[in-house]
Amino acid sequence: MALTEVTIRNAKPAEKDRKIFDGGGLYLLVKKNGTKLWRQKYRFAGVERLLALGIYPDVALKQAREWRDDARKLIASGQDPGTEKKLKKAALTDTFQPIALEWMEMQATPAKDSRKAALAEVTVGKALWSLNKYVFPEIGSRPIGLITAPELLRMLKKIEKLGLHETAHRARARCGQIWRYAVATGRAARDITVDLRGALAPVVSENYAAITDPRQIGALLLAIDAYNGTPGTTIALKLSPYVFVRPSELRRAEWNEFTLDRCEWRIPAERMKMSDPHIVPLSKQALALLKELNLITGRGRYLFPSLRSAERPMSDNTINAALRRLGYSTDEMTGHGFRSLASTCLNEQGWNPDWIEIQLAHGERNKVRAAYNHARYLPQRREMMQAWADYLDDLRLKKNQTSKNGIEDVLQKQVA
């Protein structure tokens, strides 16, 4: 028999909790302490479940019946009313910023039984910087389940208007990862970033400026030899073409990563872009520079410490700033350009592409090149790295011999 408001008001507590049914699974639970609670019994995926609908009289009979009918509609459409209720509750309490930081912390901490390293420290730092600067001020305090695709797009368009198109695309990708984590942990219903595919202006990929002509490489090496700067920056410049690692990997290099008697530099996975450990065979020329540097910074942690604090590495703009002082514009040469310089020349010289790709620690490894192994082709790579260093020295020597004034030409370019 259906309930009425009079029946509900007159329902008295008993020695035990009792149920008064209304129909369609809805009933009033009268507790022995006199509290009256609305409950909805239903079956989903063959399992009996229970949904709490509130306390009487806060929730009247009419409202309880409407919620019961809504629940039945959800079940008919293949959705669990209990799950939907949890998601709505989470949408009102779980805001974007704490979830994003929770996800970032997880990514920065690898599982104990996992062979996969955590995100590199520099990657985590860049991601947090982008979130703090562009994302959190706009949507950080908003419940993640209530943020809409148009709202997210407005935030990304603001980044685009600053001319930071690549940053906007990366922010969208990072938000997508955070949303998928929120879905997996029951705090969002779906990843709304998929609705933004094609909504941002495409990014035209540009390679880092690099000098690849042998004659110009010789001039660049002479310019570096003539550089008048701090010893650390000078040696970092001289070392860059010999090792051609990423600028972030060079400036953050630590002495405990080097085994000079074995002529090796082993960069740990957490400092690499692709989270794989990397071995750099050291040529005789590179070893000579490192031994010189060891007399200056060997007692500290970093090879190239900041001038302000030995506890921090040099600035990420130091190498590029030095190249600008040498007279090379951003369209001519960059710190990252030493990688393109080496890749282009080594391939032109006929060295095995697999050896080159592994030495560059590139992330795109096709099936022909098989799974990445940081020690793969190591003897061959040692030979290649020494031959490369000798080739650079030969270019420097030839350029010095063919130049009328040798170093003086370079110094004149630096002053200009």
What's the angle, vertex CA 94, arms to CA 91 and CA 96, rounded to 5? Answer: 100
Burial 48-67 (b: 16+ CB within 10 A, else e): ebebebeebeebebeebbeb
Residue 300 is given by DSSP the state S
Q: From the centroid of its chain, how far is CA 237?
A: 27
Rounded-to-integer distance, Cα 76 and Cα 301, Å: 64
- How many alpha carbons fall within 13 Å on the CB side of residue 190? 6
Q: Are 367 and 235 spatial neighbours (Cβ–Cβ below 8 Å)?
A: no
Instruction: Give the residues across from 55 on adjacent strands.
Output: 37
Residue 216 is given by DSSP the state H
Rounded-to-integer distance, Cα 42 and Cα 53, Å: 13
Alpha helices, DSSP H only, in 262-336?
284-297, 318-325
Instruction: Give the residues across from 194 on adjacent strands.
Output: none
Give the gyration radius of the chain's Cα atoms.
32
Rounded-to-integer distance, Cα 308 and Cα 322, Å: 18
Helix/strand number for the chain, H first, E second: 17, 7
Residue 282 is given by DSSP the state P
Please list the active-site residues: 246, 273, 336, 339, 362, 372
Alpha helices, DSSP H only, in 94-148?
96-108, 121-130, 136-139
Single-letter residue type at 343 = S
Rounded-to-integer distance, Cα 340 and Cα 334, Å: 10
What's the angle, vertex CA 303, arms to CA 253 and CA 413, rounded to 5? Answer: 100
Q: From the centroid of its chain, how far is CA 124?
A: 6
Phi, psi values for residue 125, rounded to 5°: -60, -45
Query: Is residue 6 packed enough to be buried (19+ CB in 10 Å), middle (13-18) or exposed (0-12)?
Result: exposed
